Amino acid sequence: METSSPQTTGQKVFLETFGCQSNALESGHVASLLLKDHFSLAPRAEEADVILFNTCSIRQHAEDKVFSRLGQLADWKRDKEGRVIGVLGCMATSYKDQLMERAPHLDMVVGPDQYLKVPEVIRQASRTGQSQVLADFDPVYFPENDPNRLSQPHKAFIEIMKGCDKFCTFCVVPFTRGREVSRPAESVLEEVNRLAQAGVKEVMLLGQNVNSYGLPSFPVRKFNNGQLGEPSSPIPMDKETGLGLKSRGGTLPFPQLLREVGQVPGIGRVRFMTSHPLDLSDELVEVMAEMPTVCQSIHLPVQCGSDRVLKRMGRKYDVAHYLGRVRKLRSAMRDLFITTDLIVGFPGEAEEDFQGTLDLLEEVRYDAVYSFKFSPRLGTPAARMLNRVPEEVQDQRLARLNEKAWNHASESCQARLGLVEEVLVDGPADKTPGAFYGKSRQNRTVVFPGTGYRAGDLVKVKVESHKVANLYGTVLKTNCEL
Ligand code: SAH
Ligand code: SF4
Ligand code: F3S
């Protein structure tokens, strides 16, 4: 790759992330590409020559924030020659050049599969004022961590697959991220080994549906119907069979990949997300229960507790299947930490459907719940459904749901009182002077008083209280081994 020219050496880039863990991982990747190319990173927008937003399209609110930030930057851009503004991430693939129309002072729009070009695109924009839109998908490209430039020294996200073929009717991801592609296992294991040698102790394997990692493809042609975000490059697809090229060979079933990652020397904790309930196999449950390095925590989005609504969401399972999977998990792991995502106010959701969601919460008693009001996404089938739930009904349902979920989360914290948690230290606690924080094996935040701890230290903490979803306690033992 070309090194930076004298005009641009030392340009400072402010990179702000709005999206999910995949976006956060990719921001780290972009940051390390920029540093390698002689850019530096600015901690605040005010100090920057280049402002990049790594964006999310999942809900309207996420996009509104970015449009408003872009609007505020028109004067900033005019104030000094050579300044550059860029949009990365999912809004780049969902809007492409339409973004330039909405924000004419924007210089670059770069989608998630084109990040290797970011340094060069910035240089060109800064030198010539030329704007560029690069939003094609590339099934071969996967972002990898640079072990020398990790944002945290002790843990890392690893992308094992990308895209999504599930096409839930409310969701924009299949359009912003393209067809599902699994990364070859060898490449995943190489990255994990490299990171472990650099001192990483915990890895989170990431994908929209990790449970379908390496599974055979299914036909995708019927979805290629010109909806929003249809890739401008051809969808990776086998021309003869019409099958999406989910796996380019060299993959394993997900439980086996998990087992292999869990055996990499030096890796003491393995996590994964997101699990789709449809593909959650008994083998996965066995690996979670058996492998001491695989953390016994699972994010298992249910979205709704009504079969009628689940069907219209296109989730491809019913409540009985979901509860069956939860029972299987719980019977294999006594101490399982289980979290979910829920959407309230999906079009046509009646009070009795919502009651089904409350009943499901009562049955599962999640350790944590992430709840969202339905947000219509342009180009998705649900956005065209007519029977929208009024805003105030959505608000009331969200409040009722959150109250119940909150009580369960609080009970789940109380159940930890008096127990000893193994905590991997992240650093000093921002809000509690003289204290540090880290994560338990279940991924709960644990805060404890102390001095001199470093990120990556492992300590045992006796839990004495909890506030919101955080546990508080005192250290019983330091310098533990994973
Ligand atoms: N692949 C994951 C979810 C990724 S998106 C899965 O299938 O579970 C994260 C969450 O955002 C979803 O679980 C869903 O709860 C929420 N979400 C997605 N689209 C949404 C929309 N249009 N409106 C509201 N919430 C949405
Ligand atoms: Fe979206 Fe459904 Fe795919 Fe999850 S499984 S990313 S909700 S389409
Ligand atoms: Fe993630 Fe948002 Fe894209 S959730 S995949 S950044 S739409």
* CATH tag, 305-315+323-415: 3.30.750.200
Angle in degrees, 0-180, between the axes of helices 118-128 and 21-36, rounded to the nearest 10: 60
Cα 172 to ligand 1 centroid, rounded to whole Å: 9
Pocket of ligand 2 (CB under 6 A): 164, 166-168, 171, 173-174, 208-209, 276
Would you state the CATH architecture of domain 138-295? 2-Layer Sandwich (3.30)
Q: Does domain 420-477 have CATH number 2.40.50.140?
A: yes
- pTM score, two decimals? 0.91
Q: Per DSSP, what are the bridge partners of residue 475?
A: 461
Q: Where are the domains of the chain?
A: 12-134, 138-295, 305-315+323-415, 420-477
Residue listed under structure tokens 């401008």: 232
Nearest-atom index, ligand 1, CA of 172: 19
Q: What pLDDT, on the 0 to 100 scale, is given for residue 216?
A: 63
Q: Where are the alpha helices (DSSP H) in 98-226?
A: 98-102, 118-128, 173-176, 185-197
Q: Where are the alpha helices (DSSP H) in 37-114?
A: 60-72, 74-79, 90-95, 98-102
Q: What pLDDT, on the 0 to 100 scale, is given for residue 160?
A: 96
Nearest CA residue ID for atom 12, ligand 1: 341
Asked whether this chain's domains 138-295 and 305-315+323-415 adopt the same fold, the reply is yes
Q: What pLDDT, on the 0 to 100 scale, is given for residue 139?
A: 86
Cα 321 to ligand 2 centroid, rounded to whole Å: 18
Which of 205, 341, 370, 374 has the most ligand 1 atoms within 8 A of CB, as the residue to mutate? 341
Q: What pLDDT, on the 0 to 100 scale, is given for residue 217?
A: 52
Would you state the CATH architecture of domain 12-134? 3-Layer(aba) Sandwich (3.40)
Angle in degrees, 0-180, between the axes of helices 319-332 and 282-290, rounded to the nearest 10: 30
Do 438 and 446 touch, CB atoms closer than 8 A?
yes
Length of the chain: 482
- Interacting residues of 184 by C-beta distance below 8 A, sequence separation 6+: 248, 249, 250, 251
Consecutive 10-residue averages of pLDDT for the chain (482 residues): 48 96 95 94 94 97 95 93 96 95 95 96 93 92 91 94 94 94 93 96 96 68 36 42 50 93 97 95 97 97 98 97 98 96 98 98 98 96 96 98 97 96 96 94 96 95 95 90 74
Ligand nearest, relative to CA of residue 57: 3
Which of 21, 58, 60 has the most ligand 3 atoms within 8 A of CB, as the residue to mutate? 58
Nearest CA residue ID for atom 14, ligand 1: 341
Q: What pLDDT, on the 0 to 100 scale, is given for residue 99?
A: 95
Cis peptide before 274 (omega within 30 of 0): yes
Cα 169 to ligand 2 centroid, rounded to whole Å: 9
Nearest-atom index, ligand 1, CA of 375: 23
